[in-house]
Amino acid sequence: MSISDGLTELYIRRFFEIRLDDEIKRARRFSFPLTLVMFDVDGLQQINEKHGRKAGDGVLFEIARILKDSVRATDIPARFGDEEFAVILAHTTAEQALIFAERLRERIAKTKIQTISAEVQVTVSVGLGEYEASIERHYQLVEHTQKAVELSKQKGKNRTTTWKKEEPKA
């Protein structure tokens, strides 16, 4: 079984989930911060419809390249879904992760991506979820972080939202 996605060369979702469970266990045992960053590509479906699937694949490939270029050696980036990416940031507080996420979001938004048929620019809607003691499994942290991504989309896209226990906040 391959652990990397064929298009983006990032880790696949299943491998990522196993690693996230491992990192949650370590964070609990050794009391260090752990933050999950997830983001969706805004408007990818429209690019696919207007310019073709190969153009959309080119966008995903370029975003993955930017992501790989932005992470530390200890971070764990993955393609989480069709147009969804995720990064495990161990030993990273939500405040530190917010700085990373904003730099990444801004870099993606400023990048002109040359596809086979057109030059396009895209944005991403980003969510952050910080590990807390009540989280025992990866899916709990993923669920919280995805709620933050959804809130970023609801508030107009191209933004970063941090999930908080009481409620997501932008």
Sign of CA dihedral 156, 157, 161, 165: positive
Tokens of 30: 């050794």
Please list, in sequence order, all residues whose beta carbon lies within 8 angstroms of the beta carbon of residue 135, skipping any fewer than 6 positions away: 24, 141, 144
Chain centroid to Cα 61, Å, comes to: 14
What residues act catalytically? 83
